[in-house]
Amino acid sequence: MLENSTGSQEKTEIICDIDEPPLGPKTLEFKNKFYPNTTLKEWNNWKWQISNSITTKDQLEKILVLTEEESGAFENNINLPFKVTPYYMSLVINSNQLRKTVIPTIHENVYSDEEYEDPLEEEKYRHGCVIHKYHNRALFISTNRCSTSCRYCTRSRIMHKKETNWEEGLNYIKDHSEITDVIVSGGDGLLLNLDKLNFLLNEIHNINHVEIIRIGTKIPIVLPQKINNELINVLKKYQPLYINIHIMNADELTIECKEACNKLINAGIVLGSQTVLIRGVNDNIESMEKLMRELLKMRIRPYYLYSCDFIKGSSHLRCKIEEGIKIIKELRNNMSGLGIPTFIIDTKTKKIPIIPNYKKEMIEYLNF
């Protein structure tokens, strides 16, 4: 209650836009400290987040005290330009795990003989903006932009380069009736403005032999402000629609992220998760189990756990295959099968699922 000029009391009404995402306490603290002149309305505007992205060493040093390895990375030509939204930086500042995923280090300039710019040889299967590597599935590179640059990005070779022409890709899908499943990726397709995204989804949806559309995105994690009612109204028109969210650690599951995912799920969109096994980020059973349990509580089905691809300069982030197998086996011991992602090695020709060896347990059972 507030007193007015006459001394009487009147109720204070808090006006809140129903499409306005909530702010977590750490995010609010970060905003007030580093962006004190920014209003909540501006902060919650995804366009403001993009236009105020942190992209230089000087900007970063105003927020973080960089290590020598991090500082040195900006003195060299790193393979992938640095970019982080202010929102996601509010998580990075409180998480050493997330810091490793987006802050470059000098190790990115160390290449091993097994690392390549295109380790999956996607260019070999490329037709315009379409990568047709698997018989009935096609990947549509909708954009070469992301809102935040992950340091282990498989497509760092194309990121922030000239945008692709959609016409050739759409015509290719139309001419190949075996393609029933189209994955809209990039870059990040959900970063497109609504008119472009609506056009693309409509074009793909109207191809008779296409049965489902999938979208691979990290937007709900790094830019949840983009998941607003306008975007939902576009997405829900194109059912069945599946969205696989790229998520690495439970530290990413903020109030803002959960609200964004709830909007998608409540609109009838099926959510799955894709995670990359990265050293120092999620390479232990405690981190992985916490992440998978939290995802299930959010109604997100764990889908894939990827071994880090052999992208140039990624050896310091890559785990041994045995480490991933151990994590999967321990997950199976600790939780429901619903929470067990498929551990995948992506290769030049196919995806290879890796499962623990249960030969010993089978022999014991047969001899029971």
Cis status, amide bond into 187, omega within 30 of 0: yes
Q: CA-to-CA distance for 185 and 24, rounded, in angstroms? A: 29
Q: Is pLDDT of 12 > 80?
A: no
Q: How far apart are CA 311 and CA 111, in angstroms?
A: 9
Is the CB of residue 298 less than 8 Å from the CB of residue 337? Answer: no
* Domain limit, last residue, from 75, 105, 135: 105
pLDDT tier at 4, thresholds 50, 70, 90:
very low
| Residue 2's pLDDT band (cuts 50, 70, 90) | very low
The fraction of the chain above a pLDDT of 70, given in percent, is: 93
Least confident of 11-20, 51-60, 226-235, 259-268: 11-20
- Residue 144's CATH number: 3.20.20.70
Instruction: State the number of CA atoms in the 13 A half-sphere of 313 facing the CB.
Output: 21
Q: Is the pLDDT of residue 6 over 50?
A: no
Interval 102-113 mean pLDDT: 94
Within a domain: 10: no
Lowest-confidence segment of 131-145, 185-199, 297-311, 351-365 by average pLDDT: 351-365
Nearest to 212 by CA among 190, 187, 244: 244
Q: Which amino acid is at 344?
A: I
Mean pLDDT in residue range 216-239: 97
Asked if 105 and 152 count as a contact pair (C-beta separation under 8 A), the reply is no
270, 239: one domain: yes
Please report the pLDDT score of residue 21 as a whole number: 63
pTM assigned to the model: 0.91
Q: Are 37 and 66 in contact (CB under 8 A)?
A: no
The verdict on 164 and 304 lying in the same domain is yes
Q: Does 77 share its domain with 133?
A: no
Does residue 7 lie in a domain region? no
**271 SS3 class:** strand
Position 200 scores a pLDDT of 98
3-state SS class at 366: helix
Residues 293 and 144 in one domain: yes
Q: How many domains does the chain have?
A: 2
Domain boundary among 74, 105, 136: 105
Q: Tell me if 311 sits within 8 A of 156, measured CB to CB.
A: yes
**CA–CA distances in Å: residue 360 to residues 142, 306, 340, 357, 366:** 47, 26, 21, 8, 10
Cβ contact 355:326 at 8 Å: no
Q: What is the mean pLDDT of the chain?
A: 91
Position 168 scores a pLDDT of: 95
The better pLDDT of the pair 76, 187 is held by 187
- Do 108 and 335 touch, CB atoms closer than 8 A? no
Q: Are residues 92 and 165 in the same domain?
A: no
Q: Indicate whether 99 and 126 sit together in one domain.
A: no
Give 158 or 262, the one with higher predicted confidence: 262
- State residue 304's pLDDT score: 98
For residue 302, is it within any domain?
yes
Residue 319 backbone dihedrals phi, psi, to 5 degrees: -100, 160
So what's the pLDDT on residue 135? 94
280 belongs to a structural domain: yes
Residue 18 included in any domain: no
User: Quick one: 326 exposed, middle or buried, by C-beta within 10 A (0-12, 13-18, 19+)?
Assistant: middle
In a domain, 112, yes or no: no
Query: Structural domain of residue 232, as residue ranges?
Result: 122-366
* Per-residue pLDDT tens over the stretch 314-329: 999 999 999 999 999 9
pLDDT at 74: 92
What is residue 358's predicted lDDT score, i.e. its pLDDT?
77
Burial class (CB in 10 A: 0-12, 13-18, 19+), 311: buried
Among 105, 135, 159, where does a domain finish?
105
Does 230 share its domain with 327? yes
The three-state secondary structure class of 360 is helix
Answer yes or no: do 42 and 138 share one domain.
Answer: no
157 vs 250 pLDDT, higher one: 250
**Residue 343 in contact with residue 355, Cβ under 8 Å?**
yes
Q: Is 349 inside any structural domain? A: yes
Phi, then psi, of 52 in degrees rounded to 5: -110, 20
What is the per-residue pLDDT for 56?
A: 96
Q: What is the pLDDT of residue 159?
A: 81
Kindly state whether residues 73 and 210 are assigned to the same domain.
Answer: no
pLDDT of residue 249: 98
Q: Which two tokens stand for residue 57?
A: 């060493």
Average pLDDT over residues 133-140: 96
* 159 vs 297, residue with greater confidence: 297
Total number of residues shown for the chain: 368
Q: Is the pLDDT of residue 76 over 90?
A: no
What is the rounded CA–CA span in Å between residue 148 and residue 95?
16
Residue 11 has what pLDDT?
Answer: 33
What distances in angstroms separate CA 68 from CA 76, 97, 320, one per listed residue?
13, 18, 26
Q: Given pLDDT bands bounded at 50, 70 and 90, which one contains residue 368?
A: low
Q: State the residue for tokens 């380790």.
A: 119
**Residues 6+ away with beta carbon under 8 Å from 167:** 128
Task: Identify whether the C-beta of residue 260 lies closer than 8 Å to the C-beta of residue 276.
Answer: no
One domain, residues 214 and 357: yes
- 353 membership: H or E segment, kind and range: strand 351-354
pLDDT confidence bin for 158, thresholds 50/70/90: confident
Q: Are 308 and 236 found together in one domain? A: yes
**Any bridge partners for residue 126, and if so which?**
131
Same domain, 323 and 212: yes
Model confidence at 16: pLDDT above 60: no
In a domain, residue 132? The reply is: yes
Query: Looking at residue 307, what is its pLDDT?
Result: 97
Query: Is the pLDDT at 344 greater than 70, yes or no?
Result: yes
